[in-house]
Amino acid sequence: MSSNIFFIAIGRLNAQNHFTKTVLEGVPEPKYKPYLDSDIHGQVPIWGVEGQSRSRTFWEQIEPGDYLLAYTGIHPMRDSPEKSIEYAAKIRGTEESLEFSKNWWGEYRGRAGRGSDDRGPWPLLIILNEPFEVSIPHTELRDIAGFSEKWNPQNFTSYSGSSKIRQQYGSIENYLDSKKVTPEVASSSELAEGNDSSSGVAEESETNSVSETTVDIETLREAAKQDETESVTPTIRQQETREYDRSPKIRDYIKKRSGGYCEGCGEPAPFESKTGEPYLHAHHVDELSRGGSDTIDSLVALCPNCHYRVHHGKDGEEYNEQLRERAWELEHDA
């Protein structure tokens, strides 16, 4: 779970060519199979790192499940605005192969001649999963790690802000998911038109409830308040799974109140449910398993990231306290 981030720079032209050819397009199986031991097949994204000792030190720290982020920036000494992270890929593993490097990269070697004959240019291989596009300004990673203004990764290096990202976002994966470049963004006018202002709040347990799209929020609120109970008795269905007798009316109200936005982070629901409603979870700030109350001021609608943060995040309890205040404010300060 505690994956780390490594950077590569693809600002120079030959690095961009390498990146396109061997990461975005991938290396064909016949080109790597004779040289690598890894159990991989098909077109596989592979990056190569120079074998000098500084790079090797970082490379040896890589564990499967870490992430490689590609850093662009044409003028490393200038604070050019185009500097950013544009691609990320999960790392499958590493292997060292001078022979693969010579055979695969020989023809692209822009800096050939600088290395001695017995050392190839990029023998330290990083085997990747499919890369995906992200958009992260380098200043964001600089600030998360607390680096100075001048921070500017140029070659292959590790990122010492990884643990701070894990603290803030739960995991590197969560963070990168939130930075993914999505091809389509729903227009906000659709929300503003209000022809369907309800939001779906998904539950771990499935409870039938009528669609409440046409009912106004005050009616839902009154119905929900009538269904409030101060403590809920758990029913043990299986050894590990408990279901609670939650009120669908309370849930319908929370859906409406959220307006389709996470009440934790304020972001829109990440996707629509199968029924076409914004996908959010109803989270009780008081655990029902401990006899918590099922009241509208103890519930928040959360995106999956925020919900997982509460239950699995390092700062989950602290975050839940913030959500408790938020839920209270939503009902009592309005």
User: By the criterion CB under 5 A, which residues form the site for Zn ion?
Assistant: 262, 264-265, 303, 306
CB of 267 to Zn ion, least distance (A): 5
Q: Report the amino acid identity of residue 125.
A: L
Cβ closer to Zn ion: 51 or 260? Answer: 260
The DSSP bridge partners found for residue 272 are: 278
CB of 240 to Zn ion, least distance (A): 26
Between vectors from CA 50 to CA 46 and to CA 54, what angle results, nearest 5°?
120
Cβ closer to Zn ion: 153 or 278? Answer: 278
CB of 286 to Zn ion, least distance (A): 19
What are the distances in angstroms from CA 143 to CA 2, 82, 110, 270, 309?
A: 20, 17, 34, 26, 22
Cβ closer to Zn ion: 140 or 177? Answer: 177
Cβ closer to Zn ion: 188 or 238? Answer: 188
CB of 292 closer than 8 Å to CB of 232: yes
CB of 13 to Zn ion, least distance (A): 40
User: Quick one: which of 137, 145, 1 has its CA closest to 66?
Assistant: 1
Return d(Cα 281, Cα 205) in angstroms, integer.
11
CB of 177 to Zn ion, least distance (A): 12
Cβ closer to Zn ion: 75 or 311? Answer: 311
Return d(Cα 261, Cα 185) in angstroms, integer.
15
Cβ closer to Zn ion: 161 or 264? Answer: 264
CB of 330 to Zn ion, least distance (A): 15
CB of 303 to Zn ion, least distance (A): 3
Cβ closer to Zn ion: 65 or 259? Answer: 259
